[in-house]
Structure 1
Amino acid sequence: MQKVQDITITINGQQQTVSPGMTVLQVARKLNLEIPTLCHDPFLSNQGSCRLCVVTVIDGKTNEKRLEPACVTPVQPGFIIETDSEDAIEARKTILELLLANHPNDCLRCEKAGHCALQQYAYEYGVDFPAEQDQGKKNQYASDDSNPFIERHMTKCILCGKCVTICQEEQGRHVLDYAYRGFATKVVSEGDGLLQDSPCVFCGACLQVCPTGALIDKTKKGKARSWEIEKVPTLCPYCGTGCTIELEVVQKKGVREVIAASAPSHGGGIVNGRSLCAKGRFGMGFIHHPERLTKPLIRKNGKLIETTWEEAFSTIAKKFKDLLQAEGPDAFAFLASARTTNEENYLLNKISRAVIGTNNIDHCARLCHSASVAGLAAAFGSGAMTNPIKDIEKSDTFLVLGSNTTETHPVIAQQMIQAIKKGSQAIVIDPRKTEIAQLAQEHIQIKAGTDLAFLNSLAHVIIEEKLYNNRFVEERTENFKALAAAVAPCTPQWAAEITGLRPEQIIAVARAYSRAKKAAIYYTMGITQRFTGTYNVMAIANLALLTGHIGRPGTGVNPLRGQNNVQGACDMGALPDVYPGYQAVQDEKIRRKMASLWAVEEEKLSIRPGCTVGEMIDGAAEGTIKAMFIMGENPVLADANSSHVVKALQKLDILVVADIFLTETAELAHVVLPAASFAEKEGTFTNTERRVQSLHKAIEQRGEARPDWKILTELSCRLGYPMNYESPAEILEEINLVNSAYGGITPERLHKEGSLCWPCPSSDHPGTARLHEESFSRGKGKFHGVPYLGPAEEPCQNYPYILSTGRRLFHYHGGSMTRRGALHWAYPEEHLEMHPKDGAQEGLRTGDLVTLHSRRGAVTLPVYLTEGVAPGLVFSSFHFRESRINELTNGARDPIAKIPELKHCAVRIEKEKDWSKREGRYKRILV
């Protein structure tokens, strides 16, 4: 291919050599020449609609002189360009005058004042509003303030088109568009109606690019002017994507307050660019919520009352010491948190092992991705996501299994949508018709709980048709013959009987995945929260090993982590069988090393693996666990068979909970310690792609609340083991010594470089964005021939439906954060999704109230009939304390990872009588 030659132009009297295809605006900005723009955005397609960027161009061939819009005019050889000619400046003034002639004259009270591009350019070019007699006709539109997130003032819209374009091009949605013609042209949502009645998911991308006061962040309206706001970069506290956000902080009467959050204003976040979801942008109301815990609480006479930190610590220390002497270390159990920092999880791990002497420490990864840790570690040697999120755009084909990505990981889903638009083949395997399933080229609507049969059958087809990568299998894997023997009976015909699919569907997926040059697999808890969760993950790993789709860009096996620091909590040793860095507690060499680092006797560190979350709860119910310390977790709502959890926690001699709200679990505690929120402390989080990033303190703690790391260091001192850290940075320096994968992830490097992916073993190591490129962590990748096993509980005559659970777009985990703020408006109550055929059989209509029964309990909630679920399947979330779905779910555990089967239990449905229609309450929810 012939190389395209650079071309020569003259700009502002200086000759420049530039690449063909560049626009005049691109050249000018490369040379730091300022040209005003209102409609241009460097990350979106050029609209050329505002014309404010006009420059004078003299065509080198014809010597013709003309005004051209710089943003859409490609440079040509011999161009002579003047960016600030008299003609260009006069044209810009005229454009500004025309815009102001149709614009409200309310700058003094406009929310965008001081941050409005139109206002700024009017100032720079000396243009004012025309006299009243010269204004002529103006468009007048009613404002839309129907939702608590975005206020729309279309009278202030200048039709730059940025909101329309970003919604379509970056977000992959088409909520906004132009309507009407000529002078009446207007940007509208669906049917020119209210935004709340449209398919808008309130990501706020339109807010980010609007240059005027046409779109306003309603959460901060009236709280501060733009020049009063300080933006503090930090990390989103919700899902595991690891988005960078900016907390907008104002200081009033000496007190700093977070009034809003926004996407990064300069350069964008390394993971999310300038994108956020509704939770990341509008979910910060919990920070200053009046229900925040601000003082320690202690139970006296059956009631929790406010107390001092001194009494709280003294009570805990005395009770812990007495129990340790009377019952021994294994009477204690600790729950770490996927929401707190790496440093805080590390300290709780240290207290559990070095101070108390037990390995009874676990956290919510047990309930989400413990199967990934176990299954991928067995296959590859590492249980983490193999490829960076940015690799999504590099895949020719990707499979999404058991993941409602658009609701649980919206920013990652956005990148999937972009990849689909650019030609990547997406295949979604899910019993529900989720949004990502509808957007994909292929939706494989599998029968719930039969993923393992499907995966084994894919392996059968790949081997039978010799579609596997023979060279990769020979050079980089082992145990191939065992796999081939295990999946030999798993024909597409056999799997079709189990999964409800057609054999040709299975064959087509196997061929598409194996024949792609670069194929990736993404999955979440639809795969792991199963009785066969570890087997499911091993079967996924088998496919990557067979095809060689691992260790390269656009490939890999990628479990998407559910909470903001669930990966980091695992890395820090918040697991019962490993120290930080996944070092086995049973390894005597490791034990000696840890004893030396922590300055304790070797005998203090137990070599017996501890209890998992479920085993802790069982132990509490049986009386073998006497004391629990729970940091930022809410097992009463999150764990399976939650009635059993409540009864168990009530039997403890002492339950201590550190949290930011009085959660359902904290309500049962003997001592409650008020913790700082993410906005009130420093530290690091590790996202789903193993990227370690820094959290930055924006405000002081509420009341007497303390960061968890300070709570833990004080508690440790009270228990006779001094921890004298001055900052989270000091704790990270110790982590560098303990966890070799974090060895080079120092506070200094994070401050300088922003983020690093582990493994990063030394200060000169660049970090590892992509795992297993040359070899696997365990040497060779290992195939596992796993037999098909069905769910632990199947439907029967008394319980004819399958209940599956999951998350909703506007909520998170137990709802303690998202239900305290504007997000609660978008999704105020839970309902049960059910197929219309099943609804007709039960005599139900949308809005009817039903009671859902399982063998473990009953929950009452409204029903919503939708073809989004398959017949025989019902679905609901676990966010709402009013409808505790996990009272119903099955506590049967995967025998390897000990993860409960939260995604599958048998239920029956009873219609409640005397309940009026409720369809009207669901309009916003069901959009």
Structure 2
Amino acid sequence: MASLALSFGSGAMTNSIADVQESDVIMLIGSNADTSHPTIGLRIHQAKNNGAQLLVIDPRRTGFADEADLWLQPNPGSDVALLNGMVHVILEEDLWDRTFVEERTENFEELEIVTAKYTPAYVEQITGIPESQLREAARLYASPGQRCAIYYGMGLAHHASGTDNVKSIANLAMLCGKLGMAGGGVNPLRGQNNVQGACDMGALFNTLPGYSGLNNNDAFDRYEKMWEVKLPRRKGKAATEVWDAILTDDIKGLYIVGEDPVLADPNALHAVAALEKLDFLIVQDIFLTETAKMADIVFPAACYAEKDGTFTCTERRVQRVRKAVEPPGEAKADWQIFCELSSRMGYEMDYADPEEIFNEVTQLMPQYAGITYQRIDKVGLQWPVPSLDHPGTPVLHVGKFTQGKGLFIPEDFTPPTELPDAEYPLILTTIRERAQYNFGSMTRKTKEIEALCPEAFAEINPEDAKRFGIVDLDEIKVSSRRGSVHLRTLITDRSQVGTIAIPYHFAEVPVNNLTLNSLDRLSRSPQYKICAIKVEKVQ
């Protein structure tokens, strides 16, 4: 999100999910939408069946890789080099959209300078992708006159160089003029159903709701006038930086809402050590998660079917959520918990219902200004919706970018923070399974879903299995410099030679005890997707 905001002026999916049916070329990078976003994955398969060409860039052989017109299998963590190489070829072969670049972008000269050294031969040394494949990929995406869309997921973003990866995606799309049209665009697939909405509401460490910067005095004035309180004008701490702040005594208490860092955070044992050091911990969740078990106080929260409100999905669509059943026991909707706690602490929040809160949102956030519960009663609207007569915005950046002109921000390739060596000779990457969701707190309590995927397996390439004397279903110990897990193996050529893939849904296989908490310099997102490991067969 941070990179797209810098490049385009808006850190959101540029197009609509249904747009994929209008794409001539679909580039899927860092995402296995079949398992992480199945309904979007289905639409991509349908588009392919209807004639769209599919370019897949993924170190792992997924179902999309099998179906692709062209599949590139780069070395893990080499995305910036690969994308810069595609830019180099497009410039060299004069496939770029000169009119779009000249009229709608700036800093093009810097792009030329930075990508000049990313010749196909140089890129092959870094990525392992042969020159012929790199050129074919560049030509396929550039396809002058065609509608070409990019879809990317956490496989691109969850790196210490994640924002550089996304800037490189944005550079490629602007260079080829693939923005501001149905069937094109740059489309991040969010990790959960309301990530976009949570970010819109300001659940970030460095912006106000609506993405107003901390130097926007007019925005602060609006909030302070409505809420009748003085607001701090400094950025907070990114979630991934909280643990070090606890360990250095800068933070004494923590209030965690809807998150399970004991399983979810990279280098999770580091997070556990910090949680144990806290003076006071509150957890608000719908189940007693591994993190909630460590809390001093647990606030039981209502789940999606037990409360009213809105979600804003990955395509910026604001949708109604309606309560189907009453919450069990003492559970309450999150907004009610926040209001009651605030009132007891001396600041009255006396909202009557979620609609009253939403109406306040529309007064403060220009993107939501024209949305009412009545307008989204049956079908949601895509922001920005600046007025009550505005139909919503299915495609961003038509005619001009949100910030006026798009900004090329070229970056050089930097190797992953931790690479294999003699002691830890393999790479770990984490994956999702279709039947499970995040860390299993919901799906693993549903026996019919659990039966579809009841166990975590380590996917190992046959060459690596032979090298380490491992056969199918052997129990192995997988260790990094931070921790170890035990699980059984699945021998498959879906994993690249030298890489082991493990799903992260299972508390009995806490794979994030292995992962690395190296952070992106801009977004502060962690390096989930690459760390060095070793394997031992358990006798």
Shorter-chain TM range is: over 0.9
Q: Give matches, 1:346-361, under 5 Å.
A: none
Q: Is the 8 A contact 1:660 1:675 kept in 2?
A: yes
Which residue of the partner structure matches residue 553 of structure 1? 182
Asked if the contact 2:30–2:155 (Cα under 8 Å) also holds between the matched residues in 1, the reply is yes
Q: Is the 8 A contact 2:210 2:367 kept in 1?
A: yes
Identity, % of aligned positions: 46
Q: What's the offset of the Cα at 1:883?
A: 0.5
Q: Which SS does the other structure have where 1:724 is aligned?
A: coil
SS in 1 for 2:55: strand
Match of 2:428 in 1: 803
Question: Residue 589 of structure 1: CA displacement?
Answer: 3.0
Distance in structure 2 (CA, Å) of the matches to 1:619 and 1:587 = 27
- CA displacement at 1:410 relative to structure 2: 0.9
Q: Given the alignment of the two structures, is residue 773 of structure 1 paired with residue 402 of structure 2, yes or no?
A: no
CA offset digits 1:624-682 (Å, max 9, x no partner): 11111111111111110000111101111111111111101101100001111111110
Deviation at 1:808?
0.7
Alignment of 1:253-652 (within 5 A): 373-516=1-144, 517-601=146-230, 605-652=231-278
1:670 corresponds in structure 2 to 296
Secondary structure, aligned partner of 1:384: coil
- How far apart are 1:705 and its partner, in Å? 1.0
Structure 2 distance, partners of 1:609, 1:875, is 36
* Counterpart-to-counterpart distance in 2, 1:486 and 1:649: 43
Q: Which amino acid aligns with 1:375?
A: S
Alignment-mate amino acid for residue 540 of structure 1: I
Q: 1:585 touches 1:606 (CA, 8 Å); kept in 2? A: no
Q: What is the DSSP-based 3-state SS (H/G/I as helix, E as strand, rest coil) of the residue aligned with 1:823?
A: helix
Counterparts of 1:870 and 1:673, CA distance in 2: 43
Distance 2:125 2:452 in 1: 41
Q: Secondary structure at the match of 1:799?
A: coil
2:80/2:168 contact within 8 Å kept: yes
Please tell me the root mean square deviation across aligned C-alpha atoms, in Å: 0.9
Alpha-carbon distance between aligned partners in 2 of 1:404 and 1:671, rounded to the nearest angstrom? 38
Cα contact 2:70–2:137 (8 A) shared by 1:
no
Residue-by-residue CA offset, 1:109-167 (whole Å, 9 max, x unaligned):
xxxxxxxxxxxxxxxxxxxxxxxxxxxxxxxxxxxxxxxxxxxxxxxxxxxxxxxxxxx
> Is residue 2:493 matched to residue 1:864?
no
SS at match of 1:526: helix
Per-residue deviation, residues 500-524 of structure 1 (Å, max 9, x unmatched): 1101100111011111511010000
Q: Distance in 2 between matches of 1:461 and 1:851?
A: 43
Q: Which runs of 4+ in 1 moved over 6 A?
A: none
| Aligned-partner Cα distance in 2 for 1:793–1:706 | 43
Q: Is the 8 A contact 1:621 1:649 kept in 2?
A: no
* Contiguous gaps of at least 5 residues in structure 2: none
Give SS of 1:863's match: strand
SS of the equivalent of 2:282 reads strand
Q: Is the 8 A contact 1:586 1:609 kept in 2?
A: no
Q: Is the 8 A contact 1:800 1:908 kept in 2?
A: yes
**Structure showing greater relative contact order (alpha-carbon pairs closer than 8 Å, 6 or more residues apart):** 2
TM-score, normalized by length of structure 2?
0.99
For 1:637 and 1:737, the matched residues in 2 are separated by 38
TM-score normalised over the length of structure 1: 0.58
Deviations along 1:4-26, whole A, 9 cap, x unmatched?
xxxxxxxxxxxxxxxxxxxxxxx
Report the CA distance between 1:586 and its aligned residue: 3.0
Alpha-carbon shift at residue 703 of structure 1 (Å): 1.3
Give 1:763's aligned residue.
388
- Unaligned 5+ segments in structure 1 are 1-372, 914-927
1:787 equivalent to 2:415? Answer no
- What does the per-residue CA deviation read over 1:33-70, in whole Å, with 9 as the maximum and x for residues that have no partner? xxxxxxxxxxxxxxxxxxxxxxxxxxxxxxxxxxxxxx
Alpha-carbon distance in 2 for matches of 1:588, 1:726: 30
Count of residue correspondences: 537
The one-letter code sitting in structure 2 at the alignment partner of 1:553 is: A
Give matches, 1:805-824, under 5 Å: 805-821=430-446, 822-824=448-450
Deviations 1:398-441 (A, max 9, x none): 10001011111111111111111111000100000011111222
User: 1:875 Cα deviation (Å)?
Assistant: 0.4
Q: Distance in 1 between matches of 2:206 and 2:91?
A: 36
Question: Which of 1 and 2 has greater Rg?
Answer: 1
> How far apart, CA to CA, are the structure 2 residues paired with 1:635 and 1:525?
17
Find the aligned partners of 2:120 and 2:8 in 1 and give their Cα distance.
27
* Matched letter for residue 394 of structure 2: A
In 2, Cα distance between equivalents of 1:833 and 1:843:
15
Indicate the residue corresponding to 1:320 in structure 2. Answer: none
Q: SS of the counterpart of 1:754?
A: coil
> 1:805 is aligned with what amino acid?
T
Tell me the CA shift for residue 750 of structure 1.
1.5
| Partners of 2:194 and 2:311 within 8 A in 1 | yes
CA distance in 2, matches of 1:690, 1:879: 27
TM-fit CA distance, 1:591 = 2.0
